[in-house]
Amino acid sequence: MQVRRASHGDTGDVVRLVLDDARKRERFDPLLWRVADDAHSRVEISVSRDAAQGGGPFHWFLAEDGETLAGIAHVAIIPCPPVYALSGVAGVLLDETFVTPAAHTMDAMLAAVEAEIEKKGAVIFLAACAEADDAKIQALENRGYRATTSYFARHSLQASSPPSHVRRAAAGDLGGMARLGRMSRDRHREANRVMWHPHPDADARFAYWMKQSLDLADRSIFVTENAATLSGFVVAQPASPLQIALATDPAPIGLIDDFCAMEFAASLDGRIAGGVARDLLLAAEADFVSRAKPSAMAICPTGWTAKASLLRSCGYRIANHWFFRERSGTGG
């Protein structure tokens, strides 16, 4: 199997196959993965732009078995979030990475694509995959990938009034949010020490980003207090292109990424949190409803069972995973 970069002349074939794959994903969860009305143009523009740019963060690769188009890989080459330290960049195999029914195996394509993105400095590989796509999950696991992050989803959110102790964050909350952010990073590091190794300046970088986020109109930050101490916070924001498949309409989906409460401090022991964490989650959901987003997606490390238990108890179910593998020769 040979892998090459997609060119402008490949656009028609890529669009057709990506939309076929998107319709399969839509059957897994029609509310989350609904194919957008403009999906054809979304994919067409992306392939044409990325083929023309060449050196940008997004890339399309085609796998060919002789004269047969056997697979497609949509890849992002990105740095890790600034609160973490990684000795290189991450190569992310986005949702639009799959093999056609004519292909005998996905392993050969994964190996070839990994070799290409390793040349661009990737020291870890990540791969997005729907929870219901058993065949793709098996192929990734056979290749040495392991689930490291779960994307939980909940639909048909209802408008509600947040409890009185939940309020919008203000500049005076940044110190408490930084403290909780540090606890969250500790839990992330327990789940994956390579992927989530804290940056030495993590506290300052996190506080700076939260300060900027307070003024962003597309998101809301909520906090809650226990006496005079900040006991939790949550950021309700729009879904990004990295989290949502290209052909999916992102408008109805709200994203919960930065979300931490003292109840999660029990690290990875599997206890179900409640109280403050549940109230913060309700506030985020109400904010999504006010922005015409009836679905929510919440990100959680697979090893952070206290947080995952809270999400499940509130009606969330795993919809997608990001799988992790280290580059060969780095211990993975």
For 136-155, the pLDDT digits (tens) are 999 999 999 999 999 999 99
pLDDT by residue (tens digit) across 168-215?
999 999 999 999 999 999 989 988 989 999 999 999 999 999 999 999
Q: Is the pLDDT of residue 68 over 90?
A: no
Q: Is the pLDDT of residue 332 over 70?
A: no
Q: How sure is the predictor about 264, in pLDDT bands with cuts at 50, 70 and 90?
A: confident
CA distance 274 to 146: 29
Mean pLDDT of 243-253: 94
Q: Is the pLDDT of residue 99 over 80?
A: yes
Looking at 20-29, 45-54, 235-244, 298-307, which range is the least confident one? 45-54
Q: Is the pLDDT of residue 266 over 60?
A: no
The stretches of the chain forming alpha helices (DSSP H) are: 11-28, 39-53, 107-118, 134-142, 174-191, 202-213, 276-290, 305-313
